[in-house]
Copies of this chain bind each other. A is one copy, B any other.
Amino acid sequence: MAQITKKNYLCNKITMIKEIIEGKIKKGENVQIKGWVRNKRSSKIGIYFLSIYDGSCFNSLQVIAGNKLKNYKSEISILTTGCSVKVVGTIQKSLGSKQKFDLFSEDIKVFGFVKNPEKYPISPKNHSFEYLRKVSHLRSRTNFIGAVMRIRNTLFQEIHNFLCKDGYIWISSPIITTLNAEGAGKMFRVSTLNLLNITKNDYKKINFSKDFFGQESFLTVSGQLNNESYACSLGKVYSFGPAFRAENSNTSRHLSEFWMVEPEAAFLNLEEIIHTSERMLKHLFNSVLEKREDDLKFFYEKVDKKIISRLEKFVYSNFVHVEYTEVVKILKRCDQNLFNTKITWGMELSVEHERYLTENYFMSPIIVKNHPKEIKAFYMRLNEDNKTVASMDVLFPKVGELIGGSQREERLNELDKRLSITGLSKKEYSWYRDLRKYGTVPHSGFGLGFDRLVICSTGIKNIRESIPFPRTPSNAKF
């Protein structure tokens, strides 16, 4: 920053508003900023105060535009919310109390006006989330979505940082798959077949041999099985990409296209992968607290008065670790009128059970482990009791399941038993079985729903606000 001089704007250096607000530019220095008008106030003495944002941070910069500017009347006076400008001027101590620094402008260039400002979809008034989703291409201009996306970015970058430091190697697990998933959810078909001319084989089934990949193909629901292949050679790996569920669930916690990070580590057992997941989450919440203070302040003020204290609690107190069997006992001891479904050992926890445990009973994130084998996937390692598997679900207040993971079954004979009981074909999983035939190792992993993590980190209510362009049933616009 030391090199910033009067000449800077001549050589076209753009100063980010973040740098000015954080006090990294000295008083009296000449800078050039580029951004958009958040709003405009006029004073009686022939001055306009423009709030300019450029996306680099939550706060806007106050620009003082005096009537000596050559386009004061022709352009500055008709600026409205959303117009784009370049401002050249000098940093000065602010006379107002809301901000430390102002930019006193010497030259303002308007790049683009807003046509028909009265019809501008992102006018400065409050808009409903439902309305904003209809203008998803413009909603990132709001304070709200801008703040979400900066926090989302911080979480994303810090996941990579954490896993890299821990020795994990990023791999791209495939998105298009021919493996019909292990009951994780309904899948989307990927095809180039001409729908007006579908051919069938002798058994009146679709002839997929003519499709692009020569067999029926889908969008992945999880990269885990592929990741296991790489963990069994590179040790610690992770994938981080989109995953898909073709479920018709119109809830505030489900997306048809969502992002998931899936670490997979050779030689780690259940307890060790639980420890990794907890360390990672604490690192992430701490990063948001440290790096996104301005955005968090907004959520504290406008969305959720408890967001900061909750994040601090996530960082500083240990999560509750509890056995599935113990959880069922706790729920059975409750007033049974609390729940629509009466719990018995062997059932999956429903949303109401999860919420009760995290929000009322423990009032904390909880890690439930060792579930009955019948309600978990075939690849989870059978425990010695022969009834439960080495599973783990991390449940959060308000959000429910944030992470699901397990130690994987590394014993070929046990895996084969589970494949057979689950009705899956040994042949289809032959490559997965190979990992157990050739130098098998104990290994574990988990999947973290990234968009739900954004909910946890902001206090927002609906997952549709956690991602730029949400895909849900009947909606893949933009």
Contacts and interface: CB of A to CB of B under 8 A. Distances in A.
A439 B113 contact: yes
B473 A137 contact: no
A264 to B, nearest CB: 12
A196 interface: yes
A206 interface: yes
A410 interface: yes
Given A55-B236, A229-B138, A439-B114, A190 B219 contact: yes
Interface string A220-257: 00000010011011111000011010101000000011
Contacts of A34: 266-267, 441
Contact of A137 (B114, B149, B171, B431): B431
Residue of A137, A171, A440 with highest tally of chain B CB at under 10 A? A137
A229 B140 CA distance: 8
Contact of A439 (B112, B146, B188, B200): B112
A467 interface: yes
7 contacts: A115-B438, A122-B438, A140-B229, A160-B160, A173-B468, A189-B195, A214-B474
Interface string A184-200: 00101111110110101
A160 B111 CA distance: 30
Contacts of A215: 476
Interface string A153-194: 100110010001001011111111111000000101111110
Residue of A189, A196, A217, A246 with highest tally of chain B CB at under 10 A? A189
Nearest to A200: B196
Nearest to A85: B439
A355 to B, nearest CB: 28
A311 interface: no
Interface of A: 12, 14, 16, 34-37, 54-56, 82-84, 86, 111-115, 120-122, 135-138, 140-141, 146, 149-150, 152-153, 156-157, 160, 164, 167, 169-179, 186, 188-193, 195-196, 198, 200, 204, 206, 212-215, 217, 219, 226, 229-230, 232-236, 241-242, 244, 246, 248, 256-257, 259, 266-267, 272, 410, 431-432, 434-442, 467-469, 471, 473-478
Q: Which 5 A-B pairs have the closest CB atoms?
A: A55-B234, A112-B440, A55-B235, A213-B476, A84-B439
Residue of A54, A167, A212, A229 with highest tally of chain B CB at under 10 A? A212
A112 B439 CA distance: 4
Given A111-B441, A150-B234, A178-B477, 9 more contacts: A35-B235, A36-B233, A111-B439, A146-B233, A171-B468, A174-B471, A196-B204, A213-B473, A229-B478
B174 A229 contact: no
Contacts of A36: 233, 439
Contacts of A257: 174-176
B84 A440 contact: yes
Contacts of A434: 121, 137-138
Contact of A175 (B141, B169, B175, B232): B175
A192 B186 CA distance: 9
